[in-house]
Amino acid sequence: MNETFKDIQEYFNWYKTVYGDSLRFDGDLSLPERTIASEKVNPVKIAQPEPVAEPVKKLRFDENLIHQNNLQLKKFYHEINNCEKCALGKTRQNFVFGMGNPTADLMFIGEAPGQEEDLKGLPFVGRAGQLLDKMLFAMKLKRDEVYIANILKCRPPNNRDPLPDEVSKCEPYLKKQIEMIGPKVIVALGRISAQVLLKKSDPLSALRRDTHYYEKIPFIVTYHPAALLRNPRWKSNAWDDLQKLKSFFSF
Ligand code: SF4
C-alpha cells in the first residue's frame, strides 16, 4: 500500500476511534475487534459543556486497580496514603495514588486529581479519562496495561494549578513510583506535568516539539485530554505526538 495513503488511513482510523467523529473517507474506518468497557459508551461530544458533577459520597475502589497486587507498589501505597505533608491532605476526599500495570512499559503522568478523581480515588476517571481510554484504545492498549499517575496525589481546591510547595512535597512519591514501575517511555499529559518533571518553564508548544529524557527514560509531551476536549483544533497536533511516541514504543 502506498505509504502516504496508509498514513492517511491510520490518521482517520485514529481520529474516529478517539473522537468518535465521522469524517468523509472511502477507506476502511472499521474499529478493531477488541473492545474495552469504556468503549461501549457513546462517543465523546466535544462541543458539550462540562456537566456539573453530582455530589457523591466517598467511594471505595478495588485497591487491586492501583497496584495489581505488586508487593512493592502495594507496600508503598500503604506507607503514603494517609499523607498530610501539605495542606491538600486536609481538603481531599480521597488520596489518588495512580492505577495500572506495575511493570508497564508506558506511563502517563498528569498534574493532579480533579473532582471526579478526588471522589473516586482513581486517576483520569471523568470525561478527560474517557478520552484517554479512547487514545489508549487507538494504540491497542487498555488502562490496566499502562500506568497512569499524577504529580500530586490530592486534588487542589477548584482545580487550581499545583503550588510549588505542594509539588516539592509530593513529587518524590511519583519519582519513587517511576523507579518501581520502570517504564520504557513516559508521556506527560499537559504543560504542568512536563514543566515539573523536566524542570523547565517552556510553553507546551516548545515542550511538545522536542523529545526529552527523564532519568534516561524517553519522555514525550502531549496535551492533557481535558485540553483536547476544550480545544478540538489541537486534535491533529495530538496525532503528531502519537507518531513521535510510535518511534519509541511500538503499538
Ligand atoms: S498532595 Fe502529596 S504531599 Fe500533599 S498531602 Fe497529598 S500526598 Fe501528601
Q: What is the mean pLDDT of the chain?
A: 85
**CATH entry 3.40.470.10 includes domain 63-246:** yes
Handedness of CA 49, 228, 172, 163 (dihedral sign): negative
- Separation between Cα atoms, residue 198 and residue 178, nearest integer Å: 14
Q: 35 pLDDT band (50/70/90 cuts)?
A: very low
- Separation between Cα atoms, residue 140 and residue 125, nearest integer Å: 19
Average pLDDT in the 75-79 region?
A: 97
Among 84, 97, 192, residue to substitute to test ligand 1 (most atoms within 8 Å of Cβ): 84
Residues 147-182 have pLDDT tens digits of: 999 999 999 999 999 999 999 999 999 999 999 999
Which ligand 1 atom is at minimum distance from the Cα of 89?
A: 5
Q: 232 pLDDT band (50/70/90 cuts)?
A: confident
Q: 207 pLDDT band (50/70/90 cuts)?
A: very high
Q: 242 pLDDT band (50/70/90 cuts)?
A: confident
Among 152, 167, 174, 196, residue to substitute to test ligand 1 (most atoms within 8 Å of Cβ): 152
152 lines ligand 1 (CB under 6 A): yes
Residues 103-135 have pLDDT tens digits of: 999 999 999 999 999 999 999 999 999 999 999
- Separation between Cα atoms, residue 209 and residue 239, nearest integer Å: 13
24/128: higher pLDDT: 128
Could you tell me the residue ranges of all domains in the chain?
Answer: 63-246
83 lines ligand 1 (CB under 6 A): yes
88 lines ligand 1 (CB under 6 A): yes
Residues 46-71 have pLDDT tens digits of: 455 555 555 555 656 799 999 999 99
- Separation between Cα atoms, residue 13 and residue 27, nearest integer Å: 9
